[in-house]
Structure 1
Amino acid sequence: MQKVTLQVNGMSCGHCVNSVEGAVKNVGASAKVDLAANSVSVSFDESKVSLEAIKAAIEDQGYDVV
């Protein structure tokens, strides 16, 4: 299991948290959003999902992974 913290711009509310955490869950990983730090802590199995797929899922929700 790999853990990564991503900086994500554009999140500001509970809806943003739900959107990002839901998108990450849908690709087979888990996420915890920290709105104050503009960050998302992601845990995933590299053999099942790539970091690029997780980033794409977040960006598909309208947020910028930096």
Structure 2
Amino acid sequence: MKIVADTVKCVGAGQCVRTAPDLFDQGEDDGVVVVLNAEPEGSLLSVVDEAVDLCPAQALSVAG
């Protein structure tokens, strides 16, 4: 599983960071999503789908 973030679509709402702070952060200047761990394992996998679903801009997806 690999997390894919479309930084052009991202509106900086921060839902991903609130849902999975070990996987996501936001840029200091623009608030755009920063993926901290694109290929999570173990217990982190359970929150990936939730973060993808909660993204209001649909800027997050999962590949593989």
TM-score between both structures, scaled by the size of structure 1: 0.45
More helix by share: 1
More strand by share: 1
